[in-house]
Amino acid sequence: MVVRNGDPTRFSLASYRPDALLLLFWLIGSLLVGFILLPLIGLGMTQTGASLAHVARMAEVRQAIGLSVEASLITVAIAALVGVPLAYGLAYTLWPGKGIVGVIIDLPIVVPHTVSGIALLIVFGREGILGAPVGAILGLKFWGTLAGIVAAMLFVSAPYAVNAARIGFEAIDPRLQKVARTLGLGPWRTFFEITLPLARREIVIGLTLTFARSISEFGAVVIIAYYPMTAPVEIYNLFLRFGLNDAAGASVLLLIVALTLFVLFRWLAYDTGSRARGGR
Amino acid sequence: MTDSAIAVEGLSLTLGAFALRDVSLEVAAGEILVLLGPNGAGKSVIVETIAGFHRPRTGRIVISGRDATRLPPERRSVGLVFQNFSLFPHLSVVQNVAIGVRRDTKPTHDDMAVPLGNVPALLHYFSIAHLADRKPRDLSAGERQRASLARAFATRPDLLLFDEPFSALDAVTREQLRPDLGRIVRDAGIPTIFVTHDPIDARVLADRIAVINQGMVIQQGAAAEIFERPRDAFVAAFVGVENMLTGHVEGGSGDYARVVVADRIIHSRRSPDDWNGRRVVVCIRAENVKLHLGEPGSTNQTAGSNRLPGRIATVTNLGPLTKVIVDCGFALAAYVMSGEIRAGGFVPDAAVEAAIDAGAVHLALEA
């Protein structure tokens, strides 16, 4: 996930004389690159400026994409506020049981997303053990609401935020934090002035993945909230009602929005934080 | 206890399988105490406990007359310098140096050798003012060392702790940095504890040395005493005594003791009276062994000096010095100036007499 072009000597062997093995592996590997790229290019080719404009004028498409972006950003914010402290705890606690917590955090990755949706609905539904009290006290309902969409997105995407931030924290030389403490910085200042800036890159990468996972989520979201429709649900809806063409148009629009935001996040991560930790 | 700036008294703690046992140390103002010991001996744990990162089970840590045993690290007023100097990579040099300076820190007077607590003056003192806006990754090893010292001095610490600051550096850089470090620390007059596994660090920097092994202080004393009079075979080996011969004490006369080593009598410094008959390790530094070519002139040796006939076993050129191993019933290492070797005669199997002043023969306990 985190690509580092660390040691140039690692490459010298291969780049010295590209051998048959390396060429063959590239040949095989390029199949996968093509497999990923071709459908996306094919999708883009189906659209003209006019057809995109036509889809963009459809209020339900615009609303769906807007809702997807809104819900994804709220999810990223919650993942940051809750996931970063958890990652810190996992990185800095010497506790035998923390392996179990790590496994729990990874569960949403292996659970099929429709299953996640059903499970969430059971707990967060009107009669659910969380849904009922939260609904009664806060008036917050999850079934068919923004809150439900965010819950579904958070469930499937939070592992990415936690794991990346944890990697970031664990990569920090603990001696830096010790030096900071002896210099008179208490635990809070050490966290905000040393630890957090040094893990910034991994945290932003994790939140980028959280965002990407959230905005593309269909399975869990569609079960807890068919209405209001997020973009992936709307695209599925268009596909069923009007066929491939309209669905393709909305897909391209969603792709453009998602990729733009994705690139923006990536740029944020690599910009100033890129060489911050640097090692020696 | 009150006259030492830093006192560690009876420190014990357990960290997993590792334990510190009854560690007591003292450092006076302006003094450098070197903690010397092999990797895994517990030196770093001692330093980190003094800095406040481990809670001791028993014992007390007194810094400048103040009991710091229960204080968090940020309130102990210690400066810590690690291997690679641990500069904050995301901060510039000036940000690194200034990060610990509190607004109410009073800079010291102009007559102080090192301008403690004054960031611009510290940058100037350490010749890194022109690097103020650089990031640590753009500094050389020497510049990093100076920046980390400036940062440590900026908070006006009562105690400086160095944990193997040279261990990741190459030998040449290390040799350049060592004298600088000693001079600056002494100029600042701050008591210092310096952790290393390298006896040369101890030779160059230490006023006093505490030899650490398996979480215990094996021997503590003035630097010369540790090198000249190691308490036991472990300390002797660690401070680089080349000749360690097993023998037993057989009486003595006046200022000297008699030790039997492989049927030969060696006169040594006086040992405690109750060592009579005891097995000991005879420590002779190779530089104190003088070799004379040819058969011995007179076999009778006086109590003040040892004369041991033997034959040369091996000759190894080490540059300016040549190491000669002599077989005189046991192997004895000596150094000869390489220039003398070139004059001829020092060849394997040649007859030599090894002369060793009894005052240079030290008796240590078996490990």
Distances (CA, A) of B262 to A157, B69, B146, B155, B282: 76, 51, 53, 59, 12
Tens digits of per-residue pLDDT, B306-364?
999 999 999 999 999 999 999 998 999 999 999 888 888 899 999 999 999 999 999 99
**Predicted pLDDT of residue A16:** 61
**Predicted pLDDT of residue B303:** 66
**Predicted pLDDT of residue B84:** 82
Q: What string of DSSP letters covers B123-166?
A: HHHTT-GGGTTS-GGGS-HHHHHHHHHHHHHHT--SEEEEESTT
Interface contact B174, partner A, CB < 8 A: no
**Predicted pLDDT of residue A274:** 44
Tens digits of per-residue pLDDT, B212-228?
999 999 999 999 999 99
Residue B59 has pLDDT above 70, yes or no: yes
Interface contact B165, partner A, CB < 8 A: no
**Predicted pLDDT of residue B54:** 94
Q: Which residues of B touch A273 (CB under 8 A)?
A: 90
B48's tokens: 């980190």
Packing angle between helix A59-78 and helix A244-270, nearest 10 degrees? 30
Q: Which of A178, A179, A189 to probe the B interface (max B CBs under 10 A)?
A: A179
**Predicted pLDDT of residue A278:** 42
Say which residue, B303 or B166, is predicted with more confidence: B166
Residue B132 has pLDDT above 70, yes or no: yes
- Chain B residue with Cα closest to A186: B74
- By C-alpha distance, which of B195, B196, B192, B202 is closest to B160? B192
Average pLDDT in chain B:
89
Tens digits of per-residue pLDDT, A192-227?
999 999 999 999 999 999 999 999 999 999 999 999
What's the pLDDT band for A275 if we cut at 50, 70, 90? very low
Question: What ipTM was predicted for this assembly?
Answer: 0.84
Q: What is the pTM of this model?
A: 0.84
Count how many Cα atoms sit within 13 Å of the Cα of residue B87 in the half-sphere of its side chain.
32
Q: Which residues of B touch A181 (CB under 8 A)?
A: 51-53, 72-74
What's the pLDDT band for B301 if we cut at 50, 70, 90? low
Of A173, A182, A277, the CB nearest to B80: A182
Say which DSSP state B259 is in: E
Count how many Cα atoms sit within 13 Å of the Cα of residue B204 in the half-sphere of its side chain.
17
**With left for phi above 0 and alpha for psi between -120 and 50, is residue B329 left, alpha or beta?**
left
CB contact under 8 Å between B155 and A184, yes or no, is yes
B158's tokens: 């009562």
Contact status, residue B191 vs residue B28, Cβ threshold 8 Å: yes
Least confident of A11-25, A67-81, B51-65, B86-100: A11-25
Residue B57 has pLDDT above 80, yes or no: yes
**Predicted pLDDT of residue A245:** 85
**Predicted pLDDT of residue A97:** 85
**Predicted pLDDT of residue A12:** 53
Interface contact B48, partner A, CB < 8 A: yes
Percent of chain A with pLDDT over 70: 90
